[in-house]
Structure 1
Amino acid sequence: MVKTDPPIHDGVTEIEAKALFSDLHTKALAMGLQQHQLAGLKFVAGTRKARWAKVKRRLLKVVLVGTAFAAILWIVCLLEWPLTRRQLAETVWRLRGWSAKEGQAERCLVRASSTVQNLARPPIDCGFCEDVMSVLEVTNISRFDFTHSLAYSGQPVVVSDGCSSWSAVEVFSFDFFRDLYEASGYSDQSNCQFFPYQTEFRDLYEVFEMDEDRVNQRKGQQPWYIGWSNCDTSVSAMLRKHYGRPYFLPPQSESSKTDWIFMGSPGYGAHMHVDSVGLPSWQAQIKGQKTWILQPPPECYFTCVGRMEVTVKPGGIIVLDTNKWYHSTLVEGTDISITIGSEFD
């Protein structure tokens, strides 16, 4: 059966109507009418409007379908039914050609930019930074003084000898972490966070496969900087043989069971951001040196100091509330920077 175009008026199909109109257009031009004169005729303009109206109807349908799909996906994510967020994420990872192991570097279906995250952040009370003029640097501070003056004040502080007695200062290195995780088989890391920053790495496995020339930043090699949280209990037990709770923390406080580790070469660091980890943090500079740049949140620009900067050297620990202070870091000097940290209540 041959398919024909439906008639649009008095038995004339759309194709026949187009042919007739084309013939009329050719005859009009042959009679001396100019193209711009034809374009100005009311019925021609009406034809164009009708065509544009048809396009708009089609675009509207596409927008409505897209909005409906996004709404359904949002509801699925909120209710976690019929799929959990993790199942949904793993489906997206597979569609992108990633394995579940590789997917640990991408924890969200859609990664929100730092600008979007900042806009969604609720404003805070600026009292925490009102009297802070600079980063305080202290040495051999007593637990009593730190607890009653600094621990929960909002004042960023660097304890210069905070981890100088730890064996981690001598033991921790790129090779140490590589061997440690290879021995563990990267177990229990699938639910941990990984921060690639400006690198191409997607997980720790790729980091520890890095060429030795790049690790040691030999001439012509690209800088690198990454961070991760450790969820492997066997790795954690080994790490904590070489570091302990900082001596100055309040006696009643407890540190998180999660180790946060940041490592990278000179010239790289973390971009300006604010965390959402819930508690104040400490970060010990094990190797190398790293400069921290701190800024108050935007709503506090007219209440608090605009910008502070401090360089933490090996053996030092910086303590600050990263949920309130915006911060960026830059590895400086010639050595690889290794830091380890945790939260405390």
Structure 2
Amino acid sequence: MDSPKLSEEDVAKSFRKLYRKAKAFGLTEKQLASLQSVRGLQAPLLSKSRKRLLKTSVLYPCLCVLLAVVAIPCISLVSEWPMSPEKLARLCLETVGLDSEDIINNDWCLVRAPDELLDFFRPPLKCDFCRGITSVEKVSGISPEEFEKKYAYSGRPVVVTDATRNWTALEAFSFEFLKDIYKPDSPVLKSSHDSCQFFPYKTSFESLAQVFNMSTERAHGNGEPWYIGWSNCDSSAANLIRNHYSRPYFLPRVSESSKTDWIFMGSPGYGAHMHVSAIMPFISIIFTLLTFEETRISTYVDVLVFQVQKQHRSILFVIFLFIKKLSYHIHFR
């Protein structure tokens, strides 16, 4: 005959009676705990208490922290409380040990789209300003007032043939001149590598240091052709380069100059492929207009370009004229 099933309360009462009798016989807590039957009874109870302790002391606090980590950024992004999205981004980047100042100021992306996809998502371009242009005017001795009236805001390309008058750049600039400025392990080269843009185009160069490490023969056009560009955002290098050119005489007095120079350099007759330039505040379409025996004239829309041959060296000067700001940059090749 089966014995009646005891409830948990009956079992607890019976256990307490046994416990009191054991204590009456003089058994200690340690002796009772060492009994195999007691350990067998304690095992499921300890397992339940440990699970309860794990939930209350570990899992629940972790869940609360996780919810806070997710909720606070969402609230901040929507309401800018208690901090703006930029401050929140800086905090997150610095928490994981990244330089927030460098990443935010240089517009780094956490997930960068492949260059091949960028053109597919670019807004349609309006080409009305260059429709009907079949030639490029060449002028000299033009006054700032005439230049502003005829070319600065009209979108008409023009070549100013005497734009470099009184410049020592024609004599001083060369591959060796720039190589001496960007010496190996120099602060200038390190600054260019860390915070300046570099455009290898269709070469195998990965940095400016590799460019100035090429052989002398290739640098002077006796090897594989090359063409590269970079932004000169180091003040010490900029001061050395700017010693050899001055503000173009024909720019209007209200025009502004940028702190950054863009330098493009390469083999004669070899340049960037046809592309839409995203360097400047406006979009320029690069194309070649005329080719002469010794002088190749190229142009950007709203950009002046002229090239001279001297001692088998090719130097390309490009003056960028911003449509709205009328800022200018000087480029050399």
TM over 0.5: yes
Residues 338, 244 of structure 1: CA spacing in aligned structure 2 closer, same or farther, 3 A cutoff?
Answer: same
Distance 1:315 1:129, change over 3 A: closer
Secondary structure of 2:313's aligned partner: coil
Equivalent runs, 1:154-165 vs 2, <5 Å: 154-165=155-166
User: Does the aligned pair in 1 maintain the 2:276–2:283 contact within 8 Å?
Assistant: no
Question: What aligned pairs does 1:32-47 form with structure 2 within 5 A after superposition?
Answer: none
Moved more, 225-234 or 182-191: 182-191
Distance 1:277 1:83 in 2: 27
Q: Which residues of 2 match residues 160-199 of structure 1 at below 5 A?
A: 160-182=161-183, 184-189=187-192, 190-199=194-203
1:153 equivalent to 2:131? Answer no
Change (3 A) 1:259 1:315: farther
Is 1:310–2:260 an aligned residue pair? no
Paired residues, what number?
A: 226
* Contact 1:279/1:343, CA 8 A, preserved across alignment: no
* One-letter identity of the residue aligned with 1:253: S
Task: After TM superposition, give the deviation of residue 262 of structure 1 in Å.
Answer: 0.6
What secondary structure, in the 3-state scheme, does the structure 2 residue paired with 1:170 have?
helix
Contact 1:266 1:332 in 2 (8 A): no
Give 1:83-122 correspondences, 5 Å limit: 83=93, 110=112, 112-113=114-115, 116-122=117-123
Which residue of 2 is the match for residue 38 of structure 1?
Answer: none
Report which of the two has the higher share of helix. Answer: 2
Q: Structure 2 vs 1, CA of residues 268 and 318 (structure 1 numbering), >3 Å: closer, same or farther?
A: closer
Of all paired residues, the percent bearing the same amino acid is 42
The Cα of 1:109 is off from its aligned counterpart by 5.7
| Secondary structure of the corresponding residue to residue 250 of structure 1 | coil
3-state SS of 1:226 partner: strand
User: How many angstroms apart in 2 are the aligned matches of 1:136 and 1:222?
Assistant: 34
- Over the residues paired in the alignment, what is the CA RMSD in angstroms? 4.3
Q: CA deviation at 1:310?
A: 3.3
Q: What is the aligned partner in structure 2 of residue 213 from structure 1?
A: 217
Partner amino acid for 2:266?
G
Query: Computing the radius of gyration over CA atoms, which structure comes out larger, 1 or 2?
Result: 2
Distance 1:162 1:332, change over 3 A: closer
CA distance in 1, matches of 2:122, 2:214: 36
1:273 aligned residue (272, 275, 280): 275
Superposition map of 1:105-144 within 5 A:
110=112, 112-113=114-115, 116-144=117-145
Q: Secondary structure at the match of 1:186?
A: helix
Shift of 1:89: 11
- What amino acid is aligned across from residue 162 of structure 1 in structure 2? A
State the TM-score, normalized to the length of structure 1. 0.54
- Partner Cα distance (1:273, 1:140) in 2: 32
Amino acid of the structure 1 residue aligned with 2:216: E
| Letter in structure 1 aligned against 2:206 | R
> For the structure 1 residues 214 and 111, does the alpha-carbon distance in structure 2 shift closer, same or farther, using more than 3 Å as the test?
farther
- CA gap of 1:125–1:212, structure 2 versus 1, over 3 A, is closer
Asked if the contact 2:188–2:234 (Cα under 8 Å) also holds between the matched residues in 1, the reply is no
* Alignment partners' CA distance in 1, 2:255 and 2:205: 35
Shift of 1:135: 2.0
Q: 1:169 to 1:340 in 2, by over 3 A?
A: same
Larger displacement relative to structure 2 (257-266 or 160-169): 160-169
Matches within 5 A, 1:259-338: 259-279=261-281, 294=287, 309-311=289-291, 320-321=301-302, 335-338=313-316
- d(CA) in 2 for partners of 1:339, 1:193: 19
Report SS of the residue matched to 2:152. Answer: coil
- Provide the secondary structure at the position in 1 that maps to 2:247: coil
Whichever residue aligns with residue 166 of structure 1, its letter is: W
Equivalent residue of 2:264, what SS? strand
Corresponding letter in the other structure for 2:162: D
Mean Cα deviation higher: 230-239 or 313-322: 313-322
Structure 1 unaligned runs (5+)? 1-74, 91-99, 283-291, 295-307
Classify the secondary structure of the residue corresponding to 1:188. Answer: helix
> Structure 1's 147 and 275: CA in aligned 2 closer, same or farther, altered over 3 A?
same
Higher relative contact order (CA 8 A, sep 6+): 1
Runs ≥4 residues deviating over 6 A: 87-90, 312-317, 329-333
